[in-house]
């Protein structure tokens, strides 16, 4: 086994070997993918470390030499699919698989969009700087209290608040076609959501100066989340929600809170949602927090997380110490990956492999879009 001091030399040698063979080290692709599939099914007992790399359609521009148009990529489905097909033609020759989704959504088989947590809290998603940003809907304690009043009134009739006009007609048509209704098993995490609708500094001062109002915000957020899940489960003919198990939070901004603040504000929401939708040991309880949130590891460990994707400033050994049976979905720094720093990618893999010697880890970076 190598040591951490050996990593720069090993990384340079492995990259040089790959370039000597045309950019890819000699590899039996069929054997690799068979071992990869087995490793993903059981990361802790597989002979090969599972690769957590998941290509997403953002990579097409550089690879194909196409001028970047992010708005069109997100909204012109046929154009995106064409780019993905062209990318996959190259990927299949190099790595043996078509790795991007080439499908075009069938508009006739899409459910109408139900109202989200952001909608209930009157927050607008605005396209700015090549992506969508959730904008603040309250700016001071008085505005926040009035907003919570309105949200609570909406939740007195959750079906009316959550289901859009025309839902029942669409449900009859789509159910006849066999199209499964949507479920609610993912949410922008409690701290990120709260800072989006109320502001970063505002939330921190609120927790410190007005814990009563902060607790009310927390509780109304949780009540709204549970209402969305219950309404959509009932519409799916699954009132207990037991047919679709698991829940995921994406909460980059959780790092902003001290452990005491997070235990007060964020943790109760995670625990309640996991208790509702992922109560069994094998249920998927996932947290994505791409930030320096290592100070929260002891608290998040209370959630018995099934899988995590945490910030690249954390080391695998830190996460493994707090969560010995949690599958770690990658500590490769996003910009190391997106900028194709070859030696750094190999070095970070070797670092993670060394750290994970006492427990398997999915390596690489699994991009997760926040919605």
In this prediction, residue 44 carries a pLDDT of 81
CA atoms within 13 A on the CB side of 237: 4
Strands 307-310, 247-250: parallel, antiparallel or unpaired by DSSP? unpaired
b (16+ CB within 10 A) / e for 219-246: ebbbebbbbbbbbbbebbeeeebeebeb
- Is 324 in a helix, a strand, or coil? coil
pLDDT at 358 over 90: no
Are 23 and 95 contacting, i.e. CB atoms less than 8 angstroms apart? no
- Domain 107-358 in CATH 3.20.20.210: yes
Q: What are phi and psi of 66, to 5 degrees?
A: -105, 140
Convert the pLDDT of each residue in 278-292 to its tens digit: 999 999 999 999 899
Nearest to 257 by CA among 222, 291, 213: 291
Tell me how long the chain is. Answer: 371
- Is 307 in a helix, a strand, or coil? strand
pLDDT at 154 over 70: yes
330: alpha, beta or left? (left if phi > 0; alpha if psi -120 to 50): left
Q: Which residues pair with 362 in a beta bridge?
A: 329
Mean pLDDT, range 137-144, rounded to an integer: 98
Cα gap 330→334, rounded to integer Å: 10
Q: Hunting for tokens 């927090």 — which residue is that? A: 289
Q: Hunting for tokens 């109304």 — which residue is that? A: 220
Query: Measured at the alpha carbon of residue 194, what is the angle toward residues 285 and 292, in degrees to the nearest 5?
Result: 60
Cα gap 134→35, rounded to integer Å: 41
Mean pLDDT, range 29-55, rounded to an integer: 85
Helix 7-20 with 342-355: angle, nearest 10 deg: 130
Mean pLDDT, range 220-244, rounded to an integer: 97
Convert the pLDDT of each residue in 173-203 to its tens digit: 999 999 999 999 999 999 999 999 999 999 9
363: confidence class by pLDDT, cuts 50, 70, 90: very low
| pTM: predicted TM-score of the whole model, two decimal places | 0.91
Cα gap 285→295, rounded to integer Å: 20
Return the domain boundaries, the chain: 57-99, 107-358
């Amino acid at each position: 086994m190598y040591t951490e001091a050996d990593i720069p030399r090993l990384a340079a040698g492995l990259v040089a070997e790959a370039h000597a063979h045309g950019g890819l080290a000699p590899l039996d692709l069929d054997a690799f993918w068979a071992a990869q599939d087995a490793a993903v099914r059981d990361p802790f007992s597989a002979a090969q470390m599972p690769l957590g790399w998941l290509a997403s359609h953002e990579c097409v521009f550089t690879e194909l030499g196409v001028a970047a148009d992010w708005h069109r990529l997100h909204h012109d489905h046929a154009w995106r699919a064409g780019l993905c097909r062209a990318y996959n033609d190259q990927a299949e020759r190099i790595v043996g698989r078509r790795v991007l989704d080439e499908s075009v959504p069938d508009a006739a088989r899409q459910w109408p969009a139900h109202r989200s947590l952001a909608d209930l809290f009157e927050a607008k998603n605005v396209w700015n700087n090549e992506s969508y940003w959730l904008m603040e809907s309250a700016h001071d304690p008085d505005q926040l209290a009035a907003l919570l009043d309105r949200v609570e009134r909406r939740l007195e009739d959750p079906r009316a608040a959550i289901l859009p006009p025309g839902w029942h007609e669409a449900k009859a048509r789509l159910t006849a076609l066999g199209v499964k209704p949507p479920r609610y098993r993912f949410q922008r995490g409690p701290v990120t959501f709260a800072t989006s609708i109320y502001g970063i500094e505002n939330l921190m001062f609120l927790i410190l100066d007005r814990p009563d109002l902060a607790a009310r915000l927390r509780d109304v957020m949780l009540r709204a989340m549970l209402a969305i899940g219950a309404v959509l489960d009932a519409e799916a003919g699954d009132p207990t929600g037991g047919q679709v198990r698991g829940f995921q939070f994406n909460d980059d901004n959780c790092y902003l809170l001290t452990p005491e603040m997070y235990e007060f504000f964020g943790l109760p929401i995670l625990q309640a949602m996991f208790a509702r939708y992922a109560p069994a040991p094998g249920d998927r309880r996932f947290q994505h927090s791409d930030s320096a949130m290592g100070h929260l590891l002891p608290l998040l460990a209370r959630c018995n997380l099934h899988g995590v994707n945490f910030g690249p400033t954390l080391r695998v050994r830190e996460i493994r110490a707090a969560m010995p049976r949690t599958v770690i979905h990658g500590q490769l720094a996003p910009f190391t990956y997106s900028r194709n720093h070859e030696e750094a990618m190999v070095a970070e893999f070797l670092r993670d492999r060394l750290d994970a010697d006492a427990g398997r880890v999915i390596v690489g970076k699994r991009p997760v879009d926040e919605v």
